Structure 1
Amino acid sequence: MNGNRFGRLFQVTTYGESHGPGMGVTVSGCPAGLELTEEDVQRELDRRKPGQSMITTSRGEPDEVSIQSGLQDGYTTGTPIGMTIENKDARSGKYEPFITAPRPSHGDFTYSAKFGTRNWGGGGRSSARETVNWVAAGAIADKILESEGVQVKAHVNQIGDVEAPEVSFAEMLEHTEENDVRCAHPETAERMQERIEEYQEAGDSIGGSIYFEVQGVPRGLGAPRFDSVSARLGQALMAVPAATAFEFGLGRDAREYTGSERNDEWAFDSNDEPVPVENDHGGIQGGITTGEPIYGELTLHAPTSIPKPQETVDWETGEEKTEQVIGRHDPVLPPRGVPVVESMLSLTIVDFMLLAGRINPDRLDGQPGEYDTDYHPSSPRSE
């Protein structure tokens, strides 16, 4: 099975299944000299973990990370960083009715049709639990971006038909983590919460979307066509479980604009550098970053595991049957999807910056890769 690796220079390789012993990720290509602790990674994992509120799954996973390699005295060494997260609350038995009777809109049948077998406990490898690895790796990318002055933030901007007005980047930083929905507009967050609870009480689920923004991105990242920033972001974000649409800039609204309305005219900034007057292109023109903020939106469909009885077939017995998914599932995905989206953005941008030589691939202190007497593990950033 391929598709377990992401990135080119900053490479992330993941393993693990929803109800297996644990999850794991290896990060290759992280430069040496980055200050990193398990607490840095745990802080992000705590934002994604289940059981945070009444509108998330009640599965009791602490998601405690253990860094197995790639660190010395609290700093990265430049070697692969291995991290593991144990599964503490797996309950595979509830999925036995679906071994040969696929749950509606899941990957049960397609996985079995492709491989001739699958880990059926909780969806196995196709479970959204796998994103715990992405967030662990994203925490490392975040630390690198922080040292380069790049900020990544997202918030839930729509649940069902409840849509938040536009908010500033500062408002996202200030308000996103203040409520269970992770919407940076507090009044709308209350309405979203009410709507989610309505579907939850009815034994159903609902979809929504996540708005994201990246500030401080240097100009000149990316290349035309298949290595464009927009193409790579599309790959990264459409890999998020339940993703059905990725947009940047004007996104789908661009179909309603004329060329003269959408075109970004150019002007000089205070440093006499050319900059777009507007940013309808979402910080990307010709597949390459302009230096303006990258922004866009990811749509996630309603969770497919719902307690309502649904029709399926048993491909082994040939029977049509009614089954009910019994278990611990989210009634909505965007609130826990925010840190996942942020992580995939961070991983993508770090990879582009390394490819462009904006980050020293060997040493974050900018020094040559060879050893010198001023560089010691106990003081990797000696003045």
Structure 2
Amino acid sequence: MSGNTIGTLFAVTNFGESHGPAIGCVIDGCPPGLALSEADIQADLDRRRPGTSRHVTQRQEPDQVEILSGVYEGRTTGTPIALLIRNTDQRSKDYAAIAQSFRPGHADYTYWHKYGVRDPRGGGRSSARLTAPTVAAGAVARKWLAERYGTVLRGCMTQIGDIAIPFEGWEHVPHNPFFAPVADVSALEDYMDALRRAGDSCGARIRVQATRVPVGLGEPLFDKLDADIAHALMGLNAVKGVEIGAGFASVAQRGTTHGDSLSPEGFLSNNAGGILGGISTGQDIEASIAIKPTSSIISPRQSIDIHGQPAEVVTKGRHDPCVGIRATPIAEALLALVVMDHALRQRAQCGDVRQDVPPIPAVPRTPGSL
């Protein structure tokens, strides 16, 4: 099965299944000498972990990461780093009823036809459970970028279902289960409680940002930084759309306003999302993703079985009524992996390039604006 590795110089290969004994990843290309412990990784895994509120799946997984290789006496050696996360709370019997049929909106149908076999337990390889190793690898990239450039990665939820969430401040994000940038999330909690009682699900919109990114990252024409960011974010389960900067709002903008004017003090706006011609400008990298409603719901739906006969599907088990609730740390990790890979590629190809004029700074803006 191909397609399990992301990155060129900082390459991460993801392995495992939702109900297998363990999941994990192998990171190849991490520079040597980075101080790294399991605690450095665990903090991000805890943010993504299931069972942390009544609004997400109640599968109880500690998601304790184990470093199996690539670290000696607390520092990376430059050799592959193997990370392992054991599965401890599988309930495979919950999926017996759908082993012979296909859940609408899920990958069951396509996996069956592509491989001729599928693991129905928790979705197998197509499960969002496989995002945990991505978050673990992203934590390694995040630490190296922070120490090298002072790069900060953060994200928040900007919409859940049909409820738009205003931006009040980044300081609110760590203090609620939605990663919402608002002080009061009671309306979001009421919305999710009603959704769960109805046996239904909803989608979400997530914003992710990287600040203090060096100028020059990105490889035109076909490995543009924004193209690789979009590629990575589309690899996240349930993502159906990616925007960079102003995104689809660019359609309604005029050239007189969309193009980010420059001054000796810096860029005056950031409609480009920190990327021009596929190369980072030094401004904040801004992206957002659209996440579809969860496919596994208890409401009966029309489908077919593996013999092509009509079937009614009811998916029991422990599922997120909105997978977007836990998506913010994953989107941050994916952005970190792409920026890390391109930082190493830039260092390898253009590390000796020098400019007489230093890069212009980004003009400070209000936190919620582009």
TM over 0.5: yes
Q: 1:47 to 1:62 in 2, by over 3 A?
A: same
2:347 to 337, 357, 361: 357
Partner of 1:25: 25
TM superposition shift of 1:133: 0.8
Q: Kindly indicate whether the alpha-carbon contact (under 8 Å) linking 1:141 and 1:347 is maintained by their aligned counterparts in 2.
A: yes
Q: Distance in 2 between matches of 1:53 and 1:74?
A: 33
Tell me the SS of whatever aligns to 1:356.
Answer: helix
Residues 1:180 and 2:181 aligned together: no
Taking a change above 3 Å as real, the CA distance of residues 100 and 282 of structure 1, as seen in their structure-2 partners, is same
Q: Does 1:229 align with 2:225?
A: yes
Distance 1:296 1:11 in 2: 22
The alignment-based identity, stated in percent, is 40
Match for residue 375 of structure 1? none
Match of 2:84, SS state, is: strand
Provide the residue aligned with 1:280 in structure 2.
271
Matching residue of 2:338: 348
Among residues 204, 219, 230, which one is paired with 2:215 in the alignment?
Answer: 219
| 1:223 positional shift | 2.5
1:301 aligns with 2:301: no
Counterpart in 1 of 2:359?
none
Asked whether the equivalents of residues 34 and 144 of structure 1 are also in contact (C-alpha less than 8 Å), the reply is yes
> Is the contact made by 2:102 and 2:313 (CA closer than 8 Å) also made in structure 1?
no
1:186 and 1:358 map into 2 onto residues whose CA distance is 44
Contact 2:233/2:289 (<8 A) preserved: yes
Name the residue aligned to 2:303: 312
1:210 and 2:201 aligned: no
Question: 2:317 matched to which residue of 1?
Answer: 327
The match for 1:247 is: 243
Gaps of 5+ in 1: 270-274, 362-383
Helix, strand or coil for the counterpart of 2:230?
helix
The Cα of 1:359 is off from its aligned counterpart by 11
- In structure 1, give the amino acid aligned to 2:304: V
Matches within 5 A, 1:186-197: 186-187=183-184, 189-197=185-193
Match of 1:103 in 2: 103
Instruction: Select which of 253, 257, 270 maps to 2:253.
Output: 257
Equivalent residue number for residue 267 of structure 1 = 263
> CA offsets, 1:217-270, max 9 Å, x none?
01111122311111000001011101011001111111101111211222112x
Q: What is the TM-score when the length of structure 1 is the normalising length?
A: 0.89
Give the conservation status (yes or no) of the 8 Å contact 1:354–1:360: no
Q: TM-score, normalised by structure 2?
A: 0.92
Offset of 1:90 from its aligned partner?
Answer: 1.0
Structure 2, unmatched stretches of 5+, are: 352-370
Tell me the distance in 2 between the aligned counterparts of 1:3 and 1:227.
17
Distance 2:14 2:300 in 1: 34
CA RMSD of aligned residues (A): 1.6
Deviation at 1:360, TM superposition (A): 12
- For residue 74 of structure 1, report the CA deviation from its aligned partner: 0.8
Q: Match of 1:16, as an amino acid?
A: G
Contact 1:205–1:332 at 8 Å: present in 2 too?
yes
